[in-house]
Amino acid sequence: MRDAFHDDLDSISSMLVEMSSRVGRAMGLATTALLEANLQLAEQVISEDSLIDALQHDLDAKALSLLARQQPVAGDLRTIVTSLRMSADIERMGDLAHHIAKVARMRYPSTAVPAELTLTVQEMGNVAQAIIAKVITVIKTRDIAAALQVDKDDDEMDKLHRKLFTTLLEDSWPHGIETAIDMTLIGRYYERCADHAVSVARRVYFMVTGEFAPAKD
């Protein structure tokens, strides 16, 4: 019985990794769709979001079943409850990639991103993917040092977010209100994705140690 129980716990961890991997891929495709006005990629991200949602539903059902059948305590209980919260964060990250793809679809055949912001948005996409990749490693290895590093990696996303807003607020902004709104939303989507990744990493820290991760300096 205990072997089967721990197999189920391992299965939940694997599902978190699969969800995160799908989110990382979605974020990369959404960024490409946005910058290249690629409607096919945008539609792919939008349609595949349901697969991430389905994984979350399956994971949550498995976790709740374990709670009901096994009545776990101590570290096992912490693992299951934390996994439920992590799945919600990861699913939300998938939603944010979905939102970026919807902006790309809405502005097709044009791109929503003005030329002077292309590099910044590409960097935001790259940072988001790198943070997600690190989160996958943290989930797999339960490396608490790496979990704390994700919090610091988020600083780079915050810098890019501020850089984007600095451009939007310049008096010389030539692209009008509609494009400014698009860019405000896009920047927010990337920034929130990184925030959710930090939340996942901090939950892994709690799952391993039973303590909340120290606040970032």
Q: Which among 97, 93, 188, 101 is positioned nearest to 150, based on CA atoms?
A: 93
Q: Could you tell me if 147 and 138 are in contact, meaning their C-beta atoms sit under 8 angstroms apart?
A: yes
CATH architecture group of domain 2-209: Up-down Bundle (1.20)
What is the maximum span of the chain, computed from C-alpha positions, in angstroms? 68
* Residues 183 and 117 sit within 8 Å (Cβ to Cβ): yes
What is the rounded radius of gyration, in angstroms, for the C-alpha atoms of the chain?
Answer: 19
pTM above 0.85, yes or no: yes
Tokens matching residue 66: 């374990």
pLDDT of the chain along its 217 residues, tens only? Answer: 567 888 999 999 999 999 999 999 999 999 999 999 999 999 999 999 999 999 999 999 999 999 998 888 888 999 999 999 999 999 999 999 999 999 999 999 999 999 999 999 999 999 999 999 999 999 999 999 999 999 999 999 999 999 999 999 999 999 999 999 999 999 999 999 999 999 999 999 999 999 999 987 6
